[in-house]
Structure 1
Amino acid sequence: MKRMALALAAVPLALSATLPASAQQQPASELAKVNAYIRAVTTMTADFTQTDRNGRSVTGQLTLKQPGKIRFQYQKGVSLLIVGDGKALTMIDYDVRQVQRWPIGSSPLGALLDPSKDLSRFGKVIQTGDASILSVEARDPKRPEFGTITLVFKRKAAAPAGLELYGWVALDSQNNRTTIRLSNHRYGMPIADSVFRWTDPRPRTR
């Protein structure tokens, strides 16, 4: 898929309903669980599916290493690569030899990639109507240009902090919406820092 954009339509995740009173938990304790999850996951790999507004999907593998390192390796035939090296996120389009780079903290993904952050300061629980799902919207009210991210978790006793990241919906400063769904999570394996390096496709200047 040539020059695939990050402006993707959100897959409905039933985020607008209200839980019955018996199923609700205090938002503060729920945010603490998400904080605990982010701090517990030192490394992770998962398969991901990214679907656009026309219903077309691409797949790939996500690799995460805290703090701040992430890699989206897309399926064969998709020339896009996204890498976070701990300081910045870089999007490389090998078809057009274009590189875009921005600070991780300026991206909605910053909420997921900085274990030192306290979600209670910039996040809120979004009721889902499903007691097995925990959804949290994170945004910096002082810097709305950084966008928002809605993290969606499934409650799973065997997963870190009793949660498993099901996916997220991110809205960036240009109102580009990106939806990611994860599967086949694997935790705690050694991951070399070299995984988060990339080859610059731009012509070298003399």
Structure 2
Amino acid sequence: MFFRPVAVALTSLALAAPAYAQPSVIRRVQEHLRGVHTMTADFMQTDRKGKSLTGKLYLKQPGKIRFQYEAGVPILVVGDGRVLNFIDYQVKQVSKYRIGGSPLDILLNPKRDLSRVAKVVPSAAPGVITILARDPRHPQFGSITLAFTEKADAPGGLLLEGWVALDAQNNRTTVRLSNQRLNVPVAETVFQWDDPRPGKNRD
């Protein structure tokens, strides 16, 4: 289950946090992101209009992610290490975006120095740590706010519970995770997909 305190934290963004707490927290988040080589989880995604979809998330560093939506949803999102592919099987279209130009770059590039782009922000829920990441040199890439809870046996002693992403047009997408499994086998074939465009082969 995705507990309500984390849900509250993900839907409440604040502006600042006590300065003394920031460096150590950012270091722990960096340790977590660099220590999670793979992850699987169930997810619930909610868009700016309040519409929610569920599915299965697969992540493999560096740069690979798959959002496998619930049955009946003709959409697939796959990051193949280079680009994010948004595949719409209903209209047979594929849109591609550079991972480095998206808020998900924070999750998918473990070499990224968070101290340059992230800060701790207050959480609306006790026991939930939230950080806001935005590249000041590239505001057009949007931002992402990550929410963590304490988990002693996870990298950095933290567990990623979800995030809120804002794109350049200020469209908000909230992703909440549950049943997270860290550093488990994830096959490379997970990040392949069938191209619905006429004359195109599998990527």
Normalised by the shorter chain, which TM-score bucket?
0.7 to 0.9
Task: Please tell me whether residue 76 in structure 1 is matched to residue 76 in structure 2.
Answer: no
User: Structure 2: 5+ residue runs without aligned partners?
Assistant: 1-7
Aligned-pair CA distance for 1:25: 5.5
How far, CA to CA, are the matches of 1:136 and 1:18 in structure 2? 10
Give the AA of the match of 2:67. F
> 1:1-12 residue pairs with structure 2 within 5 A?
none
Report the counterpart of residue 156 of structure 1 in structure 2: 151
Compare 51-60 and 190-199 and name the one that shifted more: 51-60
The two structures, once aligned, show a CA RMSD in angstroms of: 2.1
> 1:22-61 residue pairs with structure 2 within 5 A?
26-61=21-56
Report the counterpart of residue 179 of structure 1 in structure 2: 174
Match of 2:115, SS state, is: helix
Distance change in 2, residues 1:122/1:18 (3 Å): closer
How far, CA to CA, are the matches of 2:23 and 2:47 in structure 1? 33
Percent of counterpart pairs with the same letter?
Answer: 53
Deviation string for 1:118-140 (max 9, x for gaps)?
10001111011544111111111
> 1:28-177 residue pairs with structure 2 within 5 A?
28-177=23-172
Aligned-pair CA distance for 1:13: 3.1
8 Å CA contact 1:18–1:128 kept in 2: the answer is no
Q: TM-score, normalised by structure 2?
A: 0.88
How far, CA to CA, are the matches of 1:127 and 1:81 in structure 2? 33
Aligned length: 193
Distance change in 2, residues 1:110/1:191 (3 Å): same
Report the counterpart of residue 14 of structure 2 in structure 1: 16
Aligned-pair CA distance for 1:11: 8.3
How far, CA to CA, are the matches of 1:181 and 1:82 in structure 2? 16
Distance change in 2, residues 1:11/1:90 (3 Å): farther
How far, CA to CA, are the matches of 2:137 and 2:60 in structure 1? 28
Match of 1:26, SS state, is: helix
Compare 173-182 and 90-99 and name the one that shifted more: 173-182
User: Structure 1: 5+ residue runs without aligned partners?
Assistant: 1-9
Give the AA of the match of 1:94. Y
Give the AA of the match of 1:64. L
Distance change in 2, residues 1:26/1:163 (3 Å): same
How far, CA to CA, are the matches of 1:28 and 1:18 in structure 2? 14
Distance change in 2, residues 1:129/1:12 (3 Å): closer
8 Å CA contact 2:9–2:128 kept in 1: the answer is no
Q: Please identify runs of 4+ aligned residues in structure 1 that moved more than 6 A.
A: none
How far, CA to CA, are the matches of 1:56 and 1:104 in structure 2? 24
